[in-house]
Chains A and B, each alone.
Chain A
Amino acid sequence: MCLGYPGKIIDIKDHFAKVDFGDGVVRDNIIIALVDAKVGDYVIVHAGYAIQVMDEKEAMETIKLWKEYLEFVDKEVK
């Protein structure tokens, strides 16, 4: 049950949110009380509640790191 999907919050009512998972899948009634999230944030949803707000910057950073790293490796190989 570690299945978790990233989705975008499109509406918040009280401690529950409507989340858009893309490809036409929208779910209502997702508990967001355990994270600090606002409309427009990407959250990782697991078993009906948001476990974390996804860190977009970190996701980009990691990709940059691989790219730099892999380029470095390629040079090394040459």
Chain B
Amino acid sequence: MSEIDIKDILRLYRDPKIARRLAFKIRDIAKDLEDVLIMHVCGTHEWTITHYGIRSLLPDNVELRAGPGCPVCITPASDIDNIIKLGMEGVVVTVYGDMSRAKGGKGMSLEEARSRGADIRIVYGIQDAFMMAQRDPNHKYVFFGVGFDTTAPATAYMVKKGVPDNLSILSSYRYVPPAVGALMMAPDLAVDGIINPGHSSTVTGMKPYKEYFDRNKKPMVFAGFEPIDVLLAIYMILKQIETKEYKMENEYTRSVTWDGNVKAMETLLEVFLLSEGYWRGFGVVDKSGFVFRNTHKYVDARYIYGLSEPRDKEDFVAGARCADVIKGKIDPVECPLYMKECTPNYPRGPPMVSIEGTCKIWADHKVTGIIKCRF
């Protein structure tokens, strides 16, 4: 068995026969249920769901909707403005590819800033920014730290290890568990069950979710990213609703544990502390923003350059319903701009920019209407 390649194992997680049987089970169980709204909070889950057509397998009374799980989408527009300002002032900006196309509050993206002369470089991770800064000590570099608890530990680790003097970091990192807690309480959503993000939870563990589960008991399943993972998670949630036995269940046992990656979380909290965090389109969530501790202010671009804290209410393009898509109040097709004025070639808001944005994923898969059951 040790000779079995894990890729072969993973192939089984895409087995159409198993998927079919699960879909039957889901349909059976849903027959006796009222309308169910299941929300997930991860761009990769949305990709799996849309790519494998999982919504078309679900009965019409089971709705699956994407919540705020796209890091580019929830990054405050004021921080995009901040990093553009640094770029225009001559600081070399290092950033993930997707992030460079999202527009800030002043209607400009980093890509556009580049065309106006700013030095913007796309990186795969912070270690690339580290090496660039090290090789070029005569220029100041800044790394735009966006993403969730999944992404932030690498930055914390590099900071702990020591970064070159000419490299600073603008942290817009966000902590997912309190945001899921806020989603569960949101009166305008009325979520019946949550699929928790498998990789974020791999780092945080299931434990931090317990307080939100205890506060507001609803089915909560930690799920992986293969189609069978998602179908199984849906089934587990429906089963909990049927039996009215709500619990925190783990479907993604090959990666998620109760305690998570303790080393990563410890490193993270040694460098950052959790403070109020603004999520674009979603609002302020307490204890969800990673801010550099006083001991690490020497790498904090916000401190070094005196940048503003992202607290303001941000606007999206007039008429666009980006905020409702990000929060998970509507599906992309309900936005009047979707695939009309707003397309992947000419995105008007961050959900159409990022590969993890719900609009972009739907557009790439040519989804133009509400998906009905075809099974």
Task: List residues of chain A with CB under 8 Å of any chain B CB.
Answer: 1-4, 6, 8, 15-16, 22, 27, 29, 31, 33-35, 42, 44, 46-49, 51-52, 54-56, 58-63, 66-67, 70, 73-74
Contact = CB atoms under 8 A, between A and B. Distances in A.
Contacts of A52: 202-203, 255, 261
B169 interface: no
Rank and list the top 10 A-B pairs by shortest CB-CB distance, nearest first. Answer: A48-B125, A1-B147, A49-B154, A59-B254, A2-B199, A1-B71, A58-B254, A34-B264, A4-B199, A58-B253
B263 A34 contact: yes
16 contacts: A1-B72, A1-B356, A2-B44, A2-B150, A2-B199, A3-B199, A6-B6, A29-B128, A31-B127, A34-B263, A47-B147, A48-B127, A49-B153, A51-B261, A56-B6, A73-B21
B6 A34 contact: no
Interface stretch (B7-15, B104-112, B212-220, B358-366): B7-15
B67 to A, nearest CB: 13
Given A47-B124, A47-B150, 10 more contacts: A2-B197, A2-B198, A4-B44, A31-B158, A47-B96, A51-B150, A54-B254, A55-B253, A60-B1, A67-B18
Nearest to A62: B253
A61 to B, nearest CB: 7
Contacts of A42: 6
B188 to A, nearest CB: 25
Interface of B: 1-2, 4, 6-7, 9-10, 12-13, 18, 21-22, 25, 42-45, 69, 71-72, 96, 124-128, 146-148, 150-151, 153-154, 157-158, 161, 197-200, 202-203, 225, 228, 232, 251, 253-255, 261, 263-264, 267, 356
A1 B148 contact: yes
B42 A2 contact: yes
A35 B263 contact: yes
Contact of A3 (B21, B25, B356): B356
Contact of A44 (B124, B146, B202, B232): B202
B155 to A, nearest CB: 9
A66 B22 CA distance: 9
Contacts of B2: 56
Contact of A51 (B45, B232, B264): B264
